[in-house]
A and B are shown apart, each in its own frame.
Chain A
Amino acid sequence: MTGLVAVFVTLPFFLSKGWLHILIVMFFNMSYAVGLWVIMRMGYLSFGHAAYIGIGAYASSMLTTMLKVPVLLSIPISGLIAAVVAFAIGKITLRLRGIYFSITVFAFTEVVRTVWLAFDNPFGGPAGIWNIPKPSLFGFKFSSHLSFYFLTLFFFVLVFLFLRRLDKSHFGFTCLSVQTRETELLAQSIGIDTAFYKNMSFTLSCLICGLAGALYAHYFSFVSPFVFTFFLSMDLIVFIMVGGAATIIGPIIGAGSLTVVSEMALAAGYYRTLLFGILLILVIEFLPGGIVSLYHKPSKRESVGSKDERRSTPKTQ
């Protein structure tokens, strides 16, 4: 583990700007993927996480360009804004199961995007917001690729360590109890307040994505409604499913490999989506546990959503 970190710390000094950019994007994708994973491991497939990445990005853009808030302060604030929105949405949608949750979250994403597109005044409309400042710390400005690389690396490592700790904690284990309808009922029957755990997980998940989104805005210096689309949300899902949804390493491997592969294949835009779609189907059909399962194949019963869970519709009392 420390060896890997050492590699990533020394590597950038030998790399060109192009490669640094790829790695920076890779760390962003890993952060998003790991963030989404927090809620996905509980059986909730969110088709709309791009909205929270976007909310974080837009919030930080607006705070720094319009209110002149220093960047390193506006990023945490934007993350909190995304988390608050997530908390509110979660209150309503998390009581739903399966597809209902996914569709509602997806619908919310589209509503948010429509708002961004429609209002030129604070949000810049279709053109978005430009000239977002780079972060600076005690006078040092993170304007070079190299410096931003370390910033994103630092951010990602922080997120990773925090989540790994959380995963192994009491909270993390309890969250696992919510994977299916049956296990959730079982957990409730012994007094676990599953709604609380679901809410906290969802809020945390969107907090991470919001923070990463805010950082992203400062790297690219520009945000627009066309960045935070359904396709971005789907990218994250592909990362997690290809890497393996069972452990925290899965999304990291998925995001890492797919970002690098798609950059090397020079696949961009719709070609990239096509590639991802094909990979997703291949993985689902032939390797449902993702790349991680090549190391340790889970038994059929362990996979979420298997036939043991008969129905995915919410039951009335």
Chain B
Amino acid sequence: MVELLIGSIIEGIMMGFIYILMSLGLTMLYGIMHIVNFAHGEIYMLGAMGVYFLSERFKIPYFFSLLIVAVASVPFGLLIDRVIFRPIRGNWLQLLVATVGLTLILQSGSWISFGILDKAVKSPFKSVVYFWTATISTERLFAAIVGALLVILLVLLIYRTKVGRAMRAIEEDEDGARLQGVSPDTVSAINVSIGFMLAAIAGGLMAPIFVVNPGMGLPAVLMAFNVVIIGGLGSVPGCILGGLFCGLIQTVGAVFLGVELTYGLLFALLIAVLVIRPTGLLGHA
């Protein structure tokens, strides 16, 4: 029993980092630019699809496919920011509806281009890692490590660089930041690119773990919103906390309750958080 618990806690922490990776882009985009990106899940899906396409059709090795997808997501993000987000910045309802439109386009476009069958991406890892008494899949460990690394890099970016300072300035007071010479257009572009890149990498990392199909974006974005709302929309530390929390609940809960009920538990927790503390654990009002 104890071994099962230890195994599930380790698994939970790893899933937690994966969830953090999936949700960071979402929370950053909201915290700084007040954009609720409903299409976040579709970018995640495109990351996975991209890795599938490159590794299965063009036979590019997995790690290079992942890298290509990560790099390609940046200009895509810039394009979306310039064409769709910038003209309607400031109007949250229109932005939200626009991201919904984007979701529709991306998902249906993917269904049409890639077909309805589930896709599988072969894993680059051949063996499994043993830790204490638990068996850990190497893919998940890799994803978790990459996730943790990216989180550290992101935190360094936000708190130690000039770019990060610009983003924090816009987050605090956009007009004041503009008076100081910070351009919201540039910050928005950088923000969107980072967010998209993180989502795409998350998708690419998940490709060998879960089944890949154009519909995988919706449950992913729902999970991401779960994490972000529990942790606090807009707060990066909150996202970290929320991700770990959700990961642990999911794995430890599955031990005691089984997989289906754990989804119900997460939903119930979401409702509970929204009723008791709507801004989330670490969110700002």
A-side residues, CB < 8 A to B, are: 43, 45, 47, 92-93, 95-96, 98-100, 102-104, 106-107, 110-111, 114, 118, 230-231, 234, 237-238, 241, 270-274, 276-281, 284-285, 288, 303-307, 309, 311-316
| Alpha-carbon distance A314/B109, docked complex (angstroms) | 35
B112 contacts the other chain (CB 8 A): yes
The residues of B that contact A98 with a CB separation of less than 8 Å are 36, 92-93, 96
State A307–B174 Cα separation when bound (angstroms): 12
What B residues does A274 contact at CB under 8 A? 104-105, 108-109, 112
Instruction: Let me know if B100 and A237 touch, CB within 8 A.
Output: yes
B contact residues, range: 35 or more
> Which of A103, A118, A285 contacts B225, CB < 8 Å?
A103
Q: Are B96 and A102 in contact (CB under 8 A)?
A: yes
Query: For residue B103, which residue of chain A has the nearest CB?
Result: A277
CB–CB B94/A111 < 8 A: no
**Residues in B neighbouring A305, C-beta threshold 8 A:** 91-94
- Chain B residue with the shortest CB-CB distance to A305: B93
Q: Which residue of B lies closest to A288 (CB)?
A: B94
In the bound assembly, the distance between CA atoms of A47 and B94 in angstroms comes to 14
Report chain A residues within 8 Å CB of B69: none
Given A107-B222, A230-B218, A305-B93: A281 and B274 interface contact (C-beta under 8 Å): no
* A316 in contact with B279 (CB, 8 Å): yes
- Complex contacts, B279 vs chain A, CB 8 Å: 313-314, 316
In the complex the two chains form, is A277's CB within 8 Å of B91's CB? no
Closest-by-CB residue of A relative to B225 is: A103
B84 at interface, CB cutoff 8 A: yes
> Does B181 make an interface contact (CB < 8 A)?
no
19 more A-B residue pairs beyond the given contacts A277-B106, A277-B108, A313-B285, with a C-beta to C-beta distance below 8 A: A47-B100, A92-B274, A103-B222, A104-B270, A104-B274, A106-B222, A110-B218, A118-B260, A234-B100, A270-B108, A274-B104, A277-B105, A278-B105, A279-B101, A280-B104, A281-B101, A305-B92, A313-B278, A316-B278
How many angstroms between the C-alpha atoms of A276 and B88 in the bound complex? 19
Leading 4 A-B pairs by shortest Cβ distance = A305-B93, A277-B104, A280-B101, A277-B105
For B91, give its contact among A93, A110, A280, A303 (CB under 8 Å): A303
Contact residues of B: prevailing secondary structure = helix
B234 within 8 A of A: yes
Residue B107 lies at the interface, judged by CB distance under 8 Å to chain A: yes
Bound CA span A309–B15, Å: 37
State A125–B14 Cα separation when bound (angstroms): 34
Q: How far is the CB of B278 from chain A (nearest CB, A)?
A: 4
Complex Cα distance, B263 from A123, in Å, reads 20
Give the nearest-CB partner of A312 in chain B.
Answer: B92
Q: Mark interface residues in B68-106 (1 if CB within 8 Å of A CB, else 0).
A: 000000000000000010011011111011101111111
* Total CB contacts across the A-B interface at under 8 A: 130
CA distance A273 to B108 in the complex (A): 6
Whether the pair B90, A276 counts as a contact (CB closer than 8 A) is no
In the bound assembly, the distance between CA atoms of A104 and B278 in angstroms comes to: 12
Q: Give chain A residues whose Cβ lies under 8 Å from the Cβ of B267.
A: 107, 111
Q: Which of A114, A271, A274 has the largest number of chain B CB atoms within 10 A?
A: A274
- Give CA–CA (A104, B48) in the complex, Å: 26
- Can you identify 24 A-B contacts, CB atoms within 8 angstroms? A92-B271, A96-B274, A98-B36, A99-B36, A100-B278, A104-B270, A106-B222, A107-B222, A107-B226, A107-B270, A114-B263, A230-B218, A234-B103, A238-B101, A273-B104, A273-B107, A277-B104, A277-B105, A279-B101, A285-B98, A305-B94, A312-B92, A316-B277, A316-B278
Q: How far is the CA of A278 from the CA of B105 in the complex (A)?
A: 6
Does B34 sit at the interface, judged by CB under 8 A? yes
Residues of A within 8 A of B103 (CB): 234, 277
The answer to whether B93 touches A45, judged by C-beta atoms less than 8 angstroms apart, is yes
Task: Please give the distance in Å from B77's CB to the nearest CB on chain A.
Answer: 16
Interface centre among B36, B96, B104, B109, by most A CB within 10 Å?
A: B104
**Complex CA distance for A238 and B92, rounded to whole angstroms:** 17
Chain B residues lying within 8 Å of A104, measured Cβ to Cβ, are 270-271, 274
- Picked from B90, B98, B109, the residue with its CB within 8 Å of the CB of A284 is B98
Interface flag for B229 (CB, 8 Å): yes
**Contact A281/B105 with A111-B267, A316-B285 known, Cβ cut-off 8 Å:** yes
CB atoms of B222 and A285 under 8 A apart: no
Residues of A with C-beta under 8 A to B93? 43, 45, 98, 304-305
Contact residues in A for B104 (Cβ distance below 8 Å): 231, 234, 238, 273-274, 276-277, 280
